[in-house]
Structure 1
Amino acid sequence: MVVTQVDSTSLDMITIIPSATSEINVVAFKHRAIVAAILLVFALVGLFGNALIIISVIVCRKLRTITNVLVVNLAFADFMACTFLPFQSAGLLSQTGRYPLHETVCAAVTAVLYISVCCSVHTLVAIAFVRWYVITKSIRGHQGFHTPKKIAIMVVIIWIISISFMVVPPVLGIGTLGYSEYYSICSLTDTNDLQSYYIVLQGSLVANALLLTIIFYIRILRHVLRHNKQFRDKYAVDEDKGSSSTEASSSVSAGSRPPMIKAINRKEIEITKNLFMVVCVFMLCFLATIVNFFIPGTSVFTLYSTMILLANSVVNPIIYGLKHPNFQEVFKKIICCRPVR
């Protein structure tokens, strides 16, 4: 039987579940049920979206580019995370105070989720870095860095960093992977006194990744805006020179100025929107978790912030797949069971 804890400030947040040895405070079942249902939806959507990206690159030769190596790596990491989300839902729906499966399964689920999320975050940073490098550098820079070998090395480094920082500390006793009785999820157990150091490490990694991604996209945006400004200035100079030739040509140039300026402005606005959307979605998925990492104590909001964090594995196919015209074309053919040439 579940008895509601008598506390006016947390009446709807906490329940008490009888245990074989003692009473355990847990997040109220209604909150856990909501998060469990949403995670199941995330799993279905994320598995479909990320699998679609991987299949598209495999079957379409046009998508087998060097940059898409990172996109596939991102999709694979997110696919792996979505695969284990149902195991999180199973723990959330448990009303016994224990994980319904073996404790080793919960520890493995935690390790895989931590590794995949860390890999996904740093792959986003790598994509932002490659885009900045290719866009802002010359053709020489494009050829010097944008090679299959160097991108493959980058992918290997990302996985090494993810496994090292997410698994090695618990192996050394800094935090214990398992079932959190309070939140009823596969995360860190509530018994390790050194888990705060592990939490700080996780928060630092996510915060640094967020900061680097924002920096790279802002630098891309500044470069594009500066380039378009130079183009507008050059266009204005060329137009002034042409207007001094004849009165007729001056009239034509004057008439062509508004469409050209409007086209440039539309391009700037579209680029700004896309970059702003990428940064905002990234911040939306990770900012709540970063705040929770550095705020002491336990709260039901930590459970919801974890849910938002895992949502990143679902939205990445939309951002890096559906916004790409080539991916859109291949997606439609695969969904409609049409041949992809």
Structure 2
Amino acid sequence: MVVTQDDSTSLDMITKIPSVASELSVVAFNHRAIVAAILFVFALIGLFGNALVIISVIVSRKLRTITNVLVVNLAFADFMACTYLPFQSAGLLSQTGRYPLHETVCAAVAAVGYISACCSVYTLVAIAFVRWYVITRSIRGHQGLHTPKKIAIMVVIIWIFSISFMIIPPVLGIGTLGYSEYYSICSLTDTNELDDYYVVLQGTLVAIALLLTLVFYIRILWHVLRHNKQFRDKYAVDEDTGSKSTEAHQNKASSSMAAGSRPPMIKAINRKEIEITKNLFMVVCVFMLCFLATVVNFIIPGTSVFTLYSTMILFANSIFNPIIYGLKHPNFQEVFNKILCCRPVG
């Protein structure tokens, strides 16, 4: 068989096509290397910070509150998320088009990622609910749902819910957990045509959770504004009534001596609870900002390098919570300092 020059040229073109396709089938290595390095740093910071939160609540009596049971659950979910980030870095640095370890490891890493994300966001819902209940109900003496046993049940339900919504869709054939050859990360494989439905399902769960969280914080704000208005109106009426007669004023003053400490005390309690609520709401805002990049990227059709970076931003959520507690929460700040300086914690 004689190969002409035209046939030789065609043969060269055919042999070059696979190499071009392979170059286009993955995100450029320089981007993957950058993200891998950043994720490794995230892992170190997140493991240290979230472990510090958990240890602080265990060793400090001051931090053993009902709300902090959920804070520890959130820290544990974030700690678990940070443990798999080095495995994500290993996948990002692979240049063979396959995960460097066994595929089962990659599937497990993806599963842990989805479980921790779902657990984190629904723990934020539970925290928002507890803050709403503390400020509007239990602060007036009602226990109700605000008990350690019921909070523990709430934590168990969150984990069951998170694990279920990670397992059920792949069992039904909606998405396959594994190695994405294009992005070189452990999430969903590129072969299942129903992967997008799995992503939409997980995104919907997160969006619903964030919406519920916002509803609770809005109700807290509405309650605080209404409470402060009632307090100011009552104080104005008392002053106006007391100025009509000296005797009435004296009687009012004597009764105020007995009960006058109640309004300032109630106001002080509210101020403390509101300050805690503000700090926890900052955690929600950080999660929303990290999730926003993924939402914007999902709206944009097609695959892109930005998808990899938006995923990195979403992973960053796991490291910010301890930083917020350390900078804004006075009790955590005090305990952090004592632990880091190896001083006894009471």
For the aligned pair, the TM-score class normalised by the smaller chain equals 0.7 to 0.9
What's 1:280 paired with?
A: 285
SS at structure 2 position matched to 1:127 = helix
Determine the C-alpha separation between the residues in 1 that align with 2:142 and 2:298: 38
Which among 316, 322, 339 is matched to residue 317 of structure 1? 322
Q: Is the alpha carbon distance of 1:141 and 1:201 closer, same or farther for their aligned partners in structure 2, counting shifts above 3 Å?
A: farther
Q: CA deviation at 1:204?
A: 0.5
Which among 335, 338, 341 is matched to residue 343 of structure 2? 338
Q: CA deviation at 1:242?
A: 4.8
Say if 2:88 is the partner of 1:88.
Answer: yes
Cα pair 1:221 1:275 within 8 Å, conserved: no
What's 2:103 paired with?
A: 103
Specify the code of the residue in structure 2 equivalent to 1:325.
P
Q: CA deviation at 1:294?
A: 4.7
Q: Is the alpha carbon distance of 1:138 and 1:77 closer, same or farther for their aligned partners in structure 2, counting shifts above 3 Å?
A: closer
Question: Which is worse superposed, 306-315 or 296-305?
Answer: 296-305
Determine the C-alpha separation between the residues in 2 that align with 1:180 and 1:70: 33
Is there any run of 5+ residues in structure 2 with no aligned partner, and where? 1-16, 250-263
Higher percent of residues as helix: 2
1:134-191 Cα deviation digits (max 9, x unpaired): 2112557741111111111111110001101012222332111111111111110000
Specify the code of the residue in structure 1 equivalent to 2:122.
H
RMSD across aligned C-alpha pairs, in angstroms?
2.9
What's 1:76 paired with?
A: 76
Determine the C-alpha separation between the residues in 2 that align with 1:124 and 1:57: 18
Q: Give the TM-score, by structure 2 length.
A: 0.81
Q: CA deviation at 1:131?
A: 0.8
Which among 306, 312, 329 is matched to residue 307 of structure 1? 312
Q: CA deviation at 1:223?
A: 1.1
Q: CA deviation at 1:241?
A: 4.0
Specify the code of the residue in structure 1 equivalent to 2:170.
P
Determine the C-alpha separation between the residues in 2 that align with 1:190 and 1:210: 28
1:239-259 Cα deviation digits (max 9, x unpaired): 43455568xx9xxxxxxxxxx
SS at structure 2 position matched to 1:135 = helix
Determine the C-alpha separation between the residues in 2 that align with 1:93 and 1:87: 10
Specify the code of the residue in structure 1 equivalent to 2:309.
Y
Cα pair 1:330 1:340 within 8 Å, conserved: yes
Question: Which is worse superposed, 235-244 or 191-200?
Answer: 235-244
Cα pair 2:106 2:186 within 8 Å, conserved: yes
Specify the code of the residue in structure 2 equivalent to 1:166.
M
Determine the C-alpha separation between the residues in 2 that align with 1:233 and 1:48: 49
What's 1:6 paired with?
A: none
What's 2:230 paired with?
A: 230
- Between Structure 1 and Structure 2, whose CA radius of gyration is higher? 2
Say if 2:61 is the partner of 1:61.
Answer: yes
Q: Is the alpha carbon distance of 1:113 and 1:209 closer, same or farther for their aligned partners in structure 2, counting shifts above 3 Å?
A: same
Specify the code of the residue in structure 1 equivalent to 2:29.
F
SS at structure 1 position matched to 2:186 = strand
Specify the code of the residue in structure 1 equivalent to 2:328.
K
1:253-282 Cα deviation digits (max 9, x unpaired): xxxxxxx9xx99xx7997896576344323
Question: Which is worse superposed, 117-126 or 130-139?
Answer: 130-139
Specify the code of the residue in structure 2 equivalent to 1:228.
N
Cα pair 2:178 2:187 within 8 Å, conserved: yes
Q: How many residues align?
A: 309
What's 1:217 paired with?
A: 217
Identity of aligned residues (%): 85
Determine the C-alpha separation between the residues in 1 that align with 2:321 and 2:156: 20
Q: Is the alpha carbon distance of 1:274 and 1:327 closer, same or farther for their aligned partners in structure 2, counting shifts above 3 Å?
A: closer
Q: CA deviation at 1:58?
A: 1.2
Is there any run of 5+ residues in structure 1 with no aligned partner, and where? 1-15, 250-259
Q: CA deviation at 1:92?
A: 1.3
Specify the code of the residue in structure 2 equivalent to 1:186.
C
Cα pair 1:91 1:184 within 8 Å, conserved: yes
Q: Is the alpha carbon distance of 1:225 and 1:282 closer, same or farther for their aligned partners in structure 2, counting shifts above 3 Å?
A: farther
Q: Give the TM-score, by structure 1 length.
A: 0.82
Determine the C-alpha separation between the residues in 1 that align with 2:177 and 2:245: 77
What's 2:6 paired with?
A: none
Q: CA deviation at 1:62?
A: 2.3
SS at structure 1 position matched to 2:342 = coil
What's 2:295 paired with?
A: 290
Cα pair 1:60 1:330 within 8 Å, conserved: yes
Specify the code of the residue in structure 2 equivalent to 1:52.
L
What's 1:52 paired with?
A: 52
Question: Which is worse superposed, 129-138 or 290-299?
Answer: 290-299
Specify the code of the residue in structure 2 equivalent to 1:304.
Y
Cα pair 2:110 2:187 within 8 Å, conserved: yes
Q: CA deviation at 1:321?
A: 5.6
Q: Is the alpha carbon distance of 1:273 and 1:118 closer, same or farther for their aligned partners in structure 2, counting shifts above 3 Å?
A: closer
